[in-house]
Amino acid sequence: MAAADSPSAALRRRDLCSRGIRLAGKMRADVVDLLDAYVEQQGLDASASVAAVEGVPLAAVERWDEQTGTQRLLENLAAYRAFRALLAQMLEEQREQLGEADAGLGRALAAVLLQVSAFAYHLEELLRLESRGIPGEEGDGPPPPPRLSLFEQKLRGLGVLRELAQWAVRSGRDLRQLAKPSPANGAAPGLAESP
């Protein structure tokens, strides 16, 4: 625990956080572009409401300002690991549906998948710095959901990308909180409360 508080660790944390913030920003921009392309290619209504889909990590959080640094990192890591699997599944479905017909969308999906993987790795680095154990990935996760219809796949894809875009914004905010000097080991400073 002492190592996590050393000056060099603090510098390393700030450096990782800064790079992470830039990664998250780039990822968000690319996800937003991908979302626009996805909606158009899949013939969806951009304003369609999509019910929360099982397995898609929700970015929505209560009492965000009260979270500790470790909580932020763990929640982010769990989310991006889930997105990695979801995007891989979307890519597979895309290839099955369209083959080579829509290589552009497939490439954009693959590029975002790469960024998601890189970001997950980045989060693991930050957790190591906090001297926290990296939670293991639970094998293949929950059993695969029943096969969805083509339309259901498209809607789920919309939900995945929307939620990922939210997470990219949240991750940037989480890392800024993490980069602030912390008053105690593992405790993240809360936002100044004002009415």
Partner 1 sequence: DSHIQYERVGADVTMKCGSMDWDAAVTWTANGTDIDESHLNGSYLILKNVDLSQSGQYSCYEGSSWHLKYQTNLRVGMPPKEPVLMCRSNNYPKGFYCSWHLPTPTYIPNTFNISVIHGTKDMVCEKDAVPKNRCHIRYLQLFSTVKYKVTLTVTNALGKNFTTLTFDEFAIVKPDPPESVVAKPVPNNPRRLEVSWQNPSSWPDPESFPLKFFLRYRPLILDQWQHVELSDGTSHTITDAYAGKEYIIQVAAKDNDIGTWSDWSVAVHATPWTEEPKHLTTEAQITETTSASTSSFMAPPTTKICDKGAVVGSGAMAVCWTAGLVVAAYSVLFI
CA atoms within 13 A on the CB side of 140: 5
Question: Which residues, including other chains, have CB under 8 Å from residue 90's CB and lie 6 or more apart?
Answer: 109, 157, 160
| Minimum CB distance to partner 1 smaller for 19 or for 107 | 19
Provide the minimum distance between the beta carbon of 147 and partner 1 in the complex, in angstroms, as a whole number. Answer: 25
Both tokens of 50, joined, read 């999509």
Would you give the binding string for partner 1 spanning residues 33-52, x where CB under 8 A is met? ----------------x---
Q: What's phi and psi for 88, nearest 5 deg? A: -60, -40
Exactly one of 64, 91, 93, 186 binds partner 1 (CB under 8 A); that residue is 64
Exactly one of 100, 133, 142, 194 binds partner 1 (CB under 8 A); that residue is 194
Exactly one of 68, 76, 94, 177 binds partner 1 (CB under 8 A); that residue is 177
Based on the shown chain and the rule CB under 8 A, indicate whether residue 14 belongs to the binding site for partner 1: no
Exactly one of 16, 17, 27, 28 binds partner 1 (CB under 8 A); that residue is 28
Length of the chain: 195
Residue 40 carries which side chain, given as an amino acid letter?
E
Exactly one of 61, 85, 88, 114 binds partner 1 (CB under 8 A); that residue is 61
Tell me the C-alpha distance between 77 and 171, whole Å.
10
Name the nearest CA neighbour of 175 among 27, 26, 10, 24. 24
| Minimum CB distance to partner 1 smaller for 107 or for 180 | 180
DSSP letter, residue 64: G
The residues that touch partner 1, with contacts defined as CB under 8 A, are: 25, 28, 49, 58-62, 64-65, 162-163, 166-167, 169-170, 172-173, 176-177, 180, 191-192, 194
